[in-house]
Structure 1
Amino acid sequence: MTGQNLTGYTYQPATTKPFTAINPVTGKQLEGDFYPANHAHVNHAVQLATQAFPVYKNIAKDKKAAFLRAIATEIEALGDVLIERASAESGLPLGRIKGELGRTCGQLRLFADVVAEGSWVEAVIDSPLPNREPMPRPGLCKMLVALGPVVVFGASNFPLAFSVAGGDTASALAAGCPVIVKAHPAHPGTGALVAEAIRKAAEQTQMPDGVFSLLFDDGFSVGEALVKHENIKAVTFTGSFKGGMAIYQLAQQRREPIPVFAEMGSINPVVLLPGILQNKAEDIAAQYAGSITLGAGQFCTNPGLLLGVASPELARFEMALAKAISAVPPSTMLTPGIYQNFKHLSAELLQQKGIEVIGTGAEPESDGDNQAGALVAKVKAVDFIANPALSQEVFGPYSLLVVADTVEQLKQLIDVLDGQLTVTIMGETDELSDHKELIEKAGNKAGRIILNGVPTGVEVCAAMQHGGPFPATTDSRFTSVGTSAIRRFVRPVSWQGWGQDFLPDELKDGNPLNIWRMVDQQWTKD
């Protein structure tokens, strides 16, 4: 583990005052000095990525796949050293980190499979029609091609799966884009270990120097310089609305605006229909007490809003939820800053009109150990609709139960919500058809619609959509999880009238790569 910045294959000498990581459980500094990058490091990393791009994007798909698989193998080889460091820097238990390590390496291998199969480029061929009247048609073909160097901002709540070698990095590399990661300052040691694994994998598979770089920063200057650099072609970010919008605005102020794929949080409303509460109120309460407090509530899919119509069944659910929450012990939050923000926002919301606390978890033993107790509150729908402050995200073990007087008022609640990553409907099969309009309204607000489940837990697969209407993300057409994440880093290019020698292999006659292509409106491997 080195605290030096990595540009391509080379570690840069330290030139700045170092910072250290903090164990959020103990509050103590962890071993290792980490040196924020300077502008020379930024420029060098981008220069190397720019030079690597024309080489890397044209490397054979099997070699790119081998690179991604080698990264996974090198990360796994770090073993307990990586797991223990990630746990120490995040406060997350070892079991959670082991699971996240599996997801991280699984993502890399999944994208390797996608690249090796090759059909993700969406090749389309329209044959020439020289005899067409009144005008002949030239031969045309089209496919997706890589954008160029990409900047990835590491996330605080997933030190592996959304960080240095997480889904953003994996999908950008799969698309053919060199990656520069701005490491999250909360877990620099974890980032350094993973970066070295990527460097080794790149050398082993003979990738061009500059295909990957890692830069440290304990503030904002490095991230700002990267986003503003004229050779950067896309940016990814997972974090707060404030941070995401700052990056987005910087990118739009450039001479050449570039896409920013920012996931900026969500309160993930859950609609509780009356029929299912009548039959399963206590079971659902227990299920949601677990989801609200999972990982100290530090998931972008945490169910921060529960919506229902006043009834004896909803009252039963409320009592059962309060009881289940009271049994949950306090949990360590990721950083002192996140802990303080949770305390501030939750206290602020409790001062709003009509708010009533219905359940709290066990209190932490002291006020200085970054441990947060769970909190569930309640408010009437009329007060929620009148107060936009109540719909803001509280990042942590918090949820708000909003009680409507009627189903029509429940629809009004959904109407005032912003865009979300997820919306969940809890309902019996025989009552769903009675609430089609409500379900339709809810579906229009989110990227993923869940029936009778919890939003926490995001599968990494082809059918996953992890993105939603603004402000959940800056572009709801894309996902940051699953194989479709690769589409963020490509653009369509059409070739007209070119001979076979000048076309990419994906578009040549005879289909030398044996991929699925649309030829004259028919999907085929011919």
Structure 2
Amino acid sequence: MTTTTTDTTTRETTGADLDAVVARATEAAGRLPALEPRVRAAALDAAAAALDGAADELIALAGEETGLGVPRLTGELRRTRVQLRLFAREVERGAFLDVRIDEADADFALGVPRDDLRRMLSPVGPVLVFAAGNFPFAFSVAGGDTAAALAAGCPVVVKAHPGHPRLSRRVTELVAAALEQAGLPAGTLQLVEGQQAGVDALRHPGIRAASFTGSLRGGRALADIAAGRPDPIPFYGELGSVNPVVALPGAVAAQADSLLEGYVTSVSGSAGQLCTKPGFLLVPTGTNLDTVATAAAGVAEQRLLSPAISDGYEARRDAVLATPDVTVLHEGGVRRDDDGQGWATPTLVACSLDTLRAHADTLLDEAFGPLSVVVAYEPGTDLAAVVLDLFPGNLTGTLLGADTADTGDTGDTDGTDAAADLARLVDALTRTSGRVLFRGWPTGVAVTPAMQHGGPWPATTTDATSVGTAAVGRFLRGVAYQGAPQSLLPAPLRDDNPWGVPQSRGTAGESQRW
């Protein structure tokens, strides 16, 4: 697609155009898996270099369309480039292919000779990526889902987010050209636009997997479409998370002011439009919360992503403020400009644990914007039960003060085993969260091999990760070859191993030691 960054026309990819896009992606899918790792890795490096070379242009364009500031966008673009290069190194290593070879064994332990058997992970085919609005670089055209799919050897069709269409077109131009110049086939990265085009693409038989980052309602609807196809396909949706933070009494006693200041900073960062924003902070009853109001008062107003986001945030904020027995710590507000854009300052409220339970229907939903709830719990509260009951599925769960809990600071003051209570609380957070933090705040997501960015429903539709190198596994499927001639095996499965990837090998006779 040839576009210009000054074109603000609303577009809708037509049915005929969509068929052509998927046809090109299907053709590319037949060629990508056979390309040597060095070629595919070099292409990802070239994509990162293309973004780097156009950084000033892209950051300015993203700022115009999203209202996110230059520091935030600069950091996000850097993250996107690093992400591409990280996956390039993963492709070079080849361990993600999980190559397993079992040699023919005439004396196999089951009593029947075992034929030569070789298994590896192979790309699923064309992947549809629904771009996110709150990360115009890192979760959009050249973001983590795209990087992971390309690393797996899958072509990508991106459904552009309507919040940054010009940026989406420009990034597609730059990255698609870089990939092709580096040796990848035409059609490896393409863009479609429009809500119906996204739905139609998800239903298209040529699309073999899809990923999404967005709202619970939208993601659930798309997940149902993917599951309801005549040939259901994997759908990896990140939908919503309230990311509870539990502060034990020892943490509050030792560092109340810095803890609460960090909380406000995390809630208000990027105008609270981050999927890992802490929606709830649990503190012991009697905690002095004056610092929350002081810190929030110092946060300047920030533009929300779009008028529609502003509408949703205002409705959510009004519902929380109207809830009985909720105390306003800092009311904040939303100013609307002549274009309908919202400019928000943080709203922080407090309530008891009993109030949260009594009004869970209005308080427990995610607020996409700078709003959060401080919840006071009484001594002796079973915090593990609270987590399991009220916060069943999240991207993150944070426990502050675990290092002071050996003195009974889990909230238990009647002499029972504090260590056992702490272990139960950690287990509860582990069962309900994809990432468990013991220090810091969840809005920092490192792009690194060990990262898990996903969690139980409703955080995600499938408990995989969309950040870190493990994300590549979403777009692979296992294939085994039995008794195949060497000449017909994929390169990673051959005995001469021309790609030099790790091979796990089971030798003849080994089964007798099982």
Please indicate, yes or no, whether the TM-score normalized by the shorter chain is above 0.5: yes
The residue that corresponds to 2:103 in the other structure is 127
Between 424-433 and 157-166, the greater mean CA deviation after superposition: 424-433
Give yes or no for the alignment of 1:396 onto 2:369. yes
CA deviation profile, 1:404-463 (whole Å, cap 9, x unmatched)? 223434333212222000000010513163522122112211000001210001111100
The residue that corresponds to 1:320 in the other structure is 291
Question: What one-letter code is carried by the residue in structure 1 that aligns with 2:113?
Answer: P
The residue that corresponds to 2:277 in the other structure is 302
**Which of 31, 53, 74 is residue 77 of structure 1 equivalent to?**
53
Distance 2:7 2:476 in 1: 40
Within-5 A mapping of 1:258-407: 258-311=233-286, 314=287, 316=288, 318-361=289-332, 364=335, 368-389=340-361, 390-407=363-380
Give yes or no for the alignment of 1:197 onto 2:174. yes
| Deviation at residue 31 of structure 1 after TM alignment | 5.8
Q: Secondary structure at the match of 1:44?
A: helix
Question: What one-letter code is carried by the residue in structure 1 that aligns with 2:344?
Answer: A
Q: Secondary structure at the match of 1:431?
A: helix
Question: What one-letter code is carried by the residue in structure 2 that aligns with 1:499?
Answer: P
**Which of 18, 28, 51 is residue 42 of structure 1 equivalent to?**
18
**Percent identity of the aligned residues?**
38
Q: Secondary structure at the match of 1:444?
A: helix
Give yes or no for the alignment of 1:449 onto 2:436. yes
The residue that corresponds to 2:415 in the other structure is none
Distance 1:394 1:342 in 2: 7
Between 262-271 and 113-122, the greater mean CA deviation after superposition: 113-122
Q: 1:490 to 1:391 in 2, by over 3 A?
A: same
Does structure 2 retain, via aligned residues, the 8 Å contact 1:327–1:361? Answer: no
Question: What one-letter code is carried by the residue in structure 2 that aligns with 1:460?
Answer: V
Between 318-327 and 96-105, the greater mean CA deviation after superposition: 318-327
Q: 1:397 to 1:58 in 2, by over 3 A?
A: same
Q: 1:69 to 1:330 in 2, by over 3 A?
A: same
- Structure 1: which 5+ runs fail to align? 1-5, 13-19, 22-29
Distance 1:418 1:347 in 2: 25
Between 84-93 and 434-443, the greater mean CA deviation after superposition: 434-443
Q: 1:199 to 1:428 in 2, by over 3 A?
A: closer
Q: Secondary structure at the match of 2:48?
A: helix
Distance 2:341 2:205 in 1: 43
- Structure 2: which 5+ runs fail to align? 407-418, 509-514
Between 272-281 and 425-434, the greater mean CA deviation after superposition: 425-434
CA deviation profile, 1:473-513 (whole Å, cap 9, x unmatched)? 0011x100001110000011111111211211111113332
Question: What one-letter code is carried by the residue in structure 1 that aligns with 2:309?
Answer: I
Question: RMSD of the TM alignment (CA)?
Answer: 2.0
Does structure 2 retain, via aligned residues, the 8 Å contact 1:385–1:413? Answer: no
Distance 1:363 1:520 in 2: 64
| Deviation at residue 240 of structure 1 after TM alignment | 0.5
The residue that corresponds to 1:111 in the other structure is 87
| Deviation at residue 521 of structure 1 after TM alignment | 8.5
Question: What one-letter code is carried by the residue in structure 2 that aligns with 1:398?
Answer: L
The residue that corresponds to 1:3 in the other structure is none
Does structure 1 retain, via aligned residues, the 8 Å contact 2:303–2:341? Answer: yes
The TM-score normalised by the length of structure 2 is 0.92
CA deviation profile, 1:295-331 (whole Å, cap 9, x unmatched)? 10010000111112313xx2x2x22112211221211
The TM-score normalised by the length of structure 1 is 0.90
The residue that corresponds to 1:163 in the other structure is 140
Distance 1:341 1:101 in 2: 27
Distance 1:361 1:350 in 2: 11
The residue that corresponds to 2:398 in the other structure is 424
Does structure 1 retain, via aligned residues, the 8 Å contact 2:128–2:156? Answer: yes
Question: What one-letter code is carried by the residue in structure 2 that aligns with 1:481?
Answer: V
CA deviation profile, 1:240-262 (whole Å, cap 9, x unmatched)? 00110011011111001111100
Distance 2:334 2:309 in 1: 18
Question: What one-letter code is carried by the residue in structure 1 that aligns with 2:301?
Answer: P
Does structure 1 retain, via aligned residues, the 8 Å contact 2:264–2:292? Answer: yes
Count of equivalent residues: 491
Distance 1:121 1:345 in 2: 45
Question: What one-letter code is carried by the residue in structure 1 that aligns with 2:329?
Answer: I
Q: Secondary structure at the match of 1:408?
A: coil
Does structure 1 retain, via aligned residues, the 8 Å contact 2:314–2:334? Answer: no
Question: What one-letter code is carried by the residue in structure 2 that aligns with 1:276?
Answer: A
Q: 1:243 to 1:191 in 2, by over 3 A?
A: same
CA deviation profile, 1:167-213 (whole Å, cap 9, x unmatched)? 11111011011100111111011111101112211331232222111
Distance 1:156 1:84 in 2: 16
Between 292-301 and 386-395, the greater mean CA deviation after superposition: 386-395
Distance 2:228 2:187 in 1: 26
Does structure 2 retain, via aligned residues, the 8 Å contact 1:251–1:259? Answer: yes
